[in-house]
A and B are shown apart, each in its own frame.
Chain A
Amino acid sequence: MQNLNDWLNAHGDYLYRFALARLRDPHHAEDAVQETMLAAIKSDNFDGDSSARTWLTGILKHKIIDIQRKRLREQAVSDLVDLDASDTSMDDFFDKSGHWLEKPQILEMPDNALEQKQFLGVLGKCLDKLPAKLSALFLMRDVQEIDNENICKELNITPTNAWVMLYRARMGLRKCLEMNWITG
């Protein structure tokens, strides 16, 4: 167990930030680090060639996906089923002939550190407002940059479900930013 102490002291903060940047939820990030430590203690395949941090981060990446998968499974099945009715859900954004009901606004991008921080704060709030299943998938795709094929495999969803969910997440996010950030 000495290893465990050493790992946590030397790399615990780093691993926690790594997980938090991808999961956004402090409790989920703590769980990811905890599961990583158990897996590391149980396995003895640390070869000493790579640094301990690199090795632990590799384990952590898998644990983060496990947690995201669990988040998606916790969603009611009925929530996922309605995703197939992909054409009715966008009525808020388009009229019957497929035109924008409201023309997308130009988002003013921050040009200094303070504005940047404010903008990311708004973006974070908008992300957290997405339904849990959408945000889990969206974080995997757009923050962790895992490719679609692997997302579908990991989460056991169809490519159709994946693109519909990502489309909805992006639509919701940009609308939320338009309402809460400066537009030109």
Chain B
Amino acid sequence: MSRDELDHRVTNNTMLTCKQASQLISQSLDHPLSLSNRIQLRFHLFICDACSRFRKQLKQIGIALQRMRQLTENDDSITLPTKIKVRIIDWVASKHL
């Protein structure tokens, strides 16, 4: 089922099921939804606590993943071990010379 097909199928039903709503919530993180899907989703979220929680979870996970990436990038205690540096130099020399 392609995204267009999903859009179509969803558009043909006025009310979203939670399963459809959760799919749209996930997709909305990756690209803008069509206007009709956006309206349907907003309405669904207005009346559905479970899907609102789901959306919040995904937001929390997104923020935490960024935080995790930054912590690793800035963690001075993580270093490339000397023996790996030596291995890299040997390997590159063997490929390049």
Given contacts A30-B84, A94-B18, A160-B2, contact A20 B72 (CB under 8 A): yes
Interface residue total, chain A, C-beta cutoff 8 A = 59
Rounded to whole angstroms, the CA-CA distance of A119 and B57 in the bound complex is: 13
Q: At the interface, yes or no: A17 with Cβ under 8 Å from chain B?
A: yes
Interface size class of B (residues with CB under 8 A): 35 or more
* Beta-carbon contact of B54 and A104 below 8 Å: yes
CB distance from A15 to the nearest CB of B (A): 8
Rounded to whole angstroms, the CA-CA distance of A141 and B95 in the bound complex is: 33
Rounded to whole angstroms, the CA-CA distance of A183 and B41 in the bound complex is: 25
Q: Is the interface of A mostly helix, strand, loop or mixed?
A: helix
* Beta-carbon contact of A163 and B27 below 8 Å: yes
Q: At the interface, yes or no: A170 with Cβ under 8 Å from chain B?
A: yes
What residues on A are CB-neighbors of B88 within 8 Å?
8, 12, 30, 33-34, 37
Residues of B participating in the A interface, judged by any CB pair closer than 8 Å: 1-3, 17-20, 22-23, 26-27, 29-31, 49-51, 53-54, 56-58, 60-62, 64-76, 78-80, 84-85, 87-89, 91-93, 95-97
Residues of A participating in the B interface, judged by any CB pair closer than 8 Å: 1, 4-5, 8-9, 12-13, 15-18, 20-22, 30, 33-34, 37-38, 41-42, 84, 86-87, 90, 93-94, 97-100, 103-107, 109, 116, 119-120, 123-124, 141-143, 147-148, 158-160, 162-163, 166-167, 170-171, 173-174, 177
29 chain-A/chain-B pairs, Cβ below 8 angstroms: A8-B89, A12-B85, A12-B88, A17-B72, A17-B75, A21-B69, A34-B88, A38-B92, A38-B96, A93-B19, A98-B20, A99-B19, A100-B51, A103-B50, A106-B53, A107-B56, A107-B57, A120-B71, A123-B68, A124-B68, A141-B30, A142-B61, A143-B69, A160-B3, A167-B22, A167-B23, A170-B61, A171-B22, A174-B58
